[in-house]
Amino acid sequence: MELPVILTPGEDGYLVAECPVIPGCVSQGRTREEALRNIREAIELCLENRESEGSRMLSARRDSAQCPGMSFKKSAI
């Protein structure tokens, strides 16, 4: 599955990557390659989450190389 990704320069010098067909699916990276890798991960996670919640808005195979995902930073609690 191929999904659109928009790259825009962020105010902090990073590239912001967004998948406009998945609301809230945004990531960033220092380089184009890093931003694309991060948004791929972000999309995968968004789609997995939607699938687990029963959403039918988007359907994608979990093993699809074209399906990016959201990157999350883990914080100490």
pTM of this prediction? Answer: 0.67
Q: Is the dihedral of CA 29, 2, 70, 5 positive or negative?
A: positive
User: For 38, phi and psi rounded to 5 degrees?
Assistant: -70, -40
How does pLDDT run across 38-77, given as a tens digit for each residue? Answer: 999 999 999 999 888 876 555 443 333 343 443 333 323 2
Confidence band of 10 (pLDDT split at 50, 70, 90): very high
End-to-end Cα, the chain, rounded Å: 36
**Segments making up each domain of the chain, as ranges:** 6-52
Helix, strand, coil % (nearest 5) of the chain?
25, 15, 55
